Amino acid sequence: MSRHINMTVAIAALALILCSVAGCAKEERELVYANQESAIEKYLQGKFPDDSVIRNNGSNRVIIDSSASAKILEYGDTLYLFYAGYVFNGSPTALFATNVQSVAESAKFSLTDADFSPLIVQYNQGVFVEGLENGLSGVREGEHSIILFSAKYGFGNDAIYNIPKLSALLYEVWIDRIIKKN
């Protein structure tokens, strides 16, 4: 009986330790997210006028070229876009994906199996990571913009391909065409 109680106490203690570690890890992630969001704000304030920044549910979109058409992206529309994705550490650093040849070449990005045509996707909820989806909401055909968001709205605690875990992301996007849903 005593051995059973000791085993139960040991299991309970282990569970408590694991919960404490998990809670601590969650708190650490939340701190990382807060620091990233602060770095994003600092970056935006230092480089862009406030009226060029659109904030939407954790995403920040900076309109670089506002000579876009009146055609606005909505759920269900087909989107043709060019992009360059960067890990963001206070500024854009490592390029992790692009379909823009000049961007790939200047970053000495691997061109193996490269496709430099626009990404064509039906814009629906869940097609992109949350931060990019929120940032693309309301873009206009012909728009050139930058979308920034913390890891909380990206890949979070997961390392994906060549993106380290807990990475804030910056996407530069060129909206080539929007085909409205019927």
By CB neighbour count within 10 A (0-12 exposed, 13-18 middle, 19+ buried), where does 84 fall?
A: buried
Closest CA to 91 of 135, 49, 39, 137: 39
| 88 within domain boundaries | yes
Give yes or no for a contact between 96 and 109, defined as CB atoms under 8 angstroms apart. no
Residue 4 confidence class, pLDDT cut points 50, 70, 90: very low
By CB neighbour count within 10 A (0-12 exposed, 13-18 middle, 19+ buried), where does 70 fall?
A: exposed
Which CATH number is 76's domain given?
Answer: 3.10.50.40
| 85 within domain boundaries | yes
| 50 within domain boundaries | yes
By CB neighbour count within 10 A (0-12 exposed, 13-18 middle, 19+ buried), where does 72 fall?
A: middle
Q: Domain residues for 53?
A: 44-179
| 96 within domain boundaries | yes
pLDDT, average across residues 10-24: 48
| 16 within domain boundaries | no
pLDDT in tens, 73-130: 999 999 999 999 999 999 999 999 999 989 988 988 876 556 788 999 999 988 899 9
How many domains does the chain divide into?
1
pTM of the model: 0.83
pLDDT in tens, 132-168: 999 999 999 999 999 999 999 999 989 888 899 999 9
